[in-house]
Amino acid sequence: MNASTNKSVTLAQGTVSYRDMGTGPVIVFVHGLFLSGTIWDKTLDRLTSHRRCIVPELPLGAHKAPLNRQADLSLAGVAKLIADLLDHLDLTDVTLVGLDFGGVIAQIVAARHNERVSRLVLTNCDALEVCPAKGFEYLTWLPRVPLATWILAKLMHHVGPLRRHETSFAAFAKTPLADAQLKDWVRPMAVSSGVRRDVKKFLRSIDVKLTLALPHELKNAGTSVLLAWGSEDKLFSMDLARRLAAAIGDNAFLAEIPDARTFVPHDAPKALASTILAFTATPPWKLTSASQANLSKSA
């Protein structure tokens, strides 16, 4: 990967760290729940020679420092945080890329704070009636049960097999994730009450009504949307991707990424990077069915 610059910015919500690397058209990457920006690293290796890549560390459980106690860190609140970051950095013509719950956040930004956003790329993420994914319904009650978040964080930090179990991180990746990376993701929530406070705010905001409404909002916003979807995902299926694209309408394009589950940037970084490059090299208002075929072929 090209040398990255680690920076931080102080917003109304608190201090947010981010990496800024590469040159060219701007892409901002939105990671998911209990993840850090390192989920994108294998894909970033293939992009930073061609694009300026900005990777914020969002308050979703793996962030090292908690944000302000009064900060709105709901799904909509984190979307506003990203919009504020784009404003602060004075970024324009931005492509947002999101996965998992980061895909929901990116949808909100593109639908409601799209002054600086021209394109949206969604890898496998919560959408329509799938929020949260089947088997992860406990996320909605976790922050409401005393000590439950603390207990889960401690167990995930100290019990390696639990981190690597099929009901945990292993469900999201076809290619095994390094345990050192998993432990780095879960440690902040295990050791910091402030980080747990932040993530509980986020978990309390999970609402299927939001994901059902967002496709209509995106359709009205007119933002060009690419769904770069891992084809082997049991949590967020290709059928979900097809229905999401249909709900967004003519501005949505679907590229199937083989040999990948939810964590597409980890499982299929070369295919995802080439698909993003193709999408961002074409003005979205000129995309056609032929362009869509080329995107799918590049994957």
Describe the strand order of the beta sheet including 26-30 as a list of residue ranges: 5-11, 14-21, 52-56, 26-30, 94-98, 117-122, 224-230, 252-257
Going along the chain from its start, the domains and CATH numbers come out as 5-133+208-298 (3.40.50.1820)
Q: Looking at residue 197, what is its pLDDT?
A: 98
Greater confidence (53 vs 2) lies with 53
Contact yes or no for 98/276 (Cβ under 8 A): no
Cα R_g (the chain), whole angstroms: 18
Looking at the predicted structure, is the pLDDT value of residue 288 above 50?
no
> pLDDT band at 296, cuts 50/70/90?
very low
Q: Work out whether the CA dihedral 7, 110, 276, 128 comes out positive or negative.
A: positive
pLDDT over 90 percentage in the chain: 89
Beta strands (DSSP E) in the chain are 5-11, 14-21, 26-30, 52-56, 94-98, 117-122, 224-230, 252-257
Q: CA 184, CA 52: separation in Å to the nearest integer?
A: 26
Looking at the predicted structure, is the pLDDT value of residue 134 above 60?
yes
Q: CA 279, CA 257: separation in Å to the nearest integer?
A: 14
Does the reported pTM lie above 0.85?
yes
Looking at the predicted structure, is the pLDDT value of residue 232 above 50?
yes
Beta-strand relationship, 117-122 and 52-56: unpaired
> pLDDT band at 160, cuts 50/70/90?
confident
Per the prediction, the chain carries an average pLDDT of 93
DSSP letter (8 states) at residue 222: T
Q: Looking at residue 168, what is its pLDDT?
A: 84
Mean pLDDT of 128-140: 95
